[in-house]
Structure 1
Amino acid sequence: MRIAASYGVEGFPTIQVFGKDKQNPEKYNGQRDLQSLIQTALDNVVKVVSARVNESIPGSGGGSQSSKDSKVVGLNGSNFQEKVLNNPEVSMVAFIAPWCGHCKALLPEWEKASTRLEGKGAFLGTVDATTEQSLAQEYGVEGFPTIKIFPGGANKSHSDARDYHGGRSAQDIVSAALDEVDRTGVPKEIPEITGDGVFKETCEGSNKICVLVGLPHILDSMASGRNKYKETIAAVAKKFRGGGAFEFFWFEGGSQFDLEDTLELTFGFPAVVAVSLDKNAYVVLRGSFNEKSVSRFLTSISTGRQGTVPLRKIPEIADVEPWDGLDGTPIEEEPLEDIMGWDDEDEL
């Protein structure tokens, strides 16, 4: 009777379900037929298994991640509309189950891919289909993992999703997401270096190579010329975006004195330099500035065939006003007579 009293038993029969929290069983108030009892037992088995492997699922519970570097978004019924359907970015969503072996094999690759997609117009999410059954049913999930691709653009609906049947390596996943960005999303704009924050935030860390492109002064190229240079950078960046190692920036030549001096950019613009703060090294492109030449330069870096120069210090980045997209306005020079205070009627 002491045992019965400790669990609040006041009548018979009383059924208690000892699930994931053995110290606090749940009182069973369901039907007493065989099918109902079996279903309750199975439901609690799923809950126990989910709890035990929960930490191995990125974003399970709506936000936790198994890797501190993972950018996988945890999705559930309460945030799916905001995070996926109303989000203008492309997304790939994996519906998974904690006990699924194929899901466990997918997750490390899913996490690697998520970090490589950061800032590129696409993201990856996961849904624990065992706890989000209505969401899984809405998207016709019948096996695990089921991966759905959602196009770019806001105000999407479930009918916009399509099944992904491609490879499950990180490279395959990244390539599929970026292909969808090309079709329906908004490709990443190559950022301008306007201050120290964005440079250090992006370029510091292991296995990162920042490709800095110095462009001619706006008065030398005007807006049309600068935009052509930027198109070349974007075309090169698109070729290398899936690898995850290169980050691209541009700046106006002459605006970053310490950067240009430290990296020996003394031969004019446009100029291209690749910098690894992690390895304290850099290398300058000595060829012409075109898509083929820059691509060949970066390929030689990624394959280890390009020699580097030790970086003597971290360059200081000056704060500058971002380009407004317009032609430059020449500075009107003051006449020498006004500067010297001469008067035409004065006698020399």
Structure 2
Amino acid sequence: MSSSALPSSSIPLFDTVVSYREWRRRARDEKKSVGYVATMGALHDGHLSLVKRSLAENDLTVLSIFVNPAQFAPHEDLATYPRTLPRDLELLSALSIPGPDGTPRTPSAVFVPTVDEMYPSGISQNTQEQKGTFVEVTGYGHQMEGRTRPTFFRGVATVVTKLFNAIEPTRTYFGQKDIQQALLLRRMTRDLLLSHPDPEHLYIVPTTRDPSTSLALSSRNAYLSPYEREHVAPALYAALQAVQSAWEAGVTKAECVQRAQTVIEEKRREAGESVDLRLDYIEINDAESFEVLADPVQREEWEAEAEGRPVILSGAMWVGKTRLIDNIVLGARHTLGIVD
């Protein structure tokens, strides 16, 4: 059952674990598969592509909408992160795809817990003040995004473990835009011997992009001005594409990264003082260990040594006060659980 404080919706809403578990018990009794999409709300077409995938592959589809304070550092944008629940529910209510027998499938339930429900012991954004139980994937969270956001993956692993325990999904779907997060969660499900989902049923869905600019869709794109969104922010993906071309041509990793930096610098000069454009990082990492590839490494050398293991080309940059991330997987991406 849903709380009277929640907006009205044609989709059942649950704001407590107890109420959701009663719904989940009925689904289990009816032997229905449950697909799951975890979100922080402010839904866009990228989220909806995950939902559509779940609708196509499962009897029932559940979403969660929860802005997780544990993954925001004290200086980050927890207070201003977009919260658009009524609109989110309208978008979900409009979704419908035919099931195998032609019967329409629509989202089955939305879990919208409070912070107190998810963190019974309380929660602080300062990790030194936190009390209670937390999950950390040791040795894999300090590279790539972890360099800039050192407590981020601890917060993600903790909340997703809680959500998996509550939702008990048969299958779950994450976007490639957050590739390191998705791969860490796959590893976590394996390390913790989870059955709902097991690692093989955590799917990574390719990034959804703006059809005209190729900008990766993100809830934080709402922070950008129209000029920033259309003319400046797409430089990150352009820089990654420059690296991809150089890597495939046999250029060393160091030179690949330099070419990306050149793309960003050219865009910075073009934008002038009207936009504060700053590159955070562009890097190529081992998709298994997340370790940075050595500067002299070339594609053929890597492929011979790594026996076909792919690499992750990723980057982050600031456009004004908005931090954007993106990535391209170079090599056999299906080995990472990325689906077409």
TM superposition score normalised by structure 1:
0.24
Larger Rg: 1
Structure having greater relative contact order (Cα 8 Å, sep ≥ 6): 2
TM superposition score normalised by structure 2:
0.25
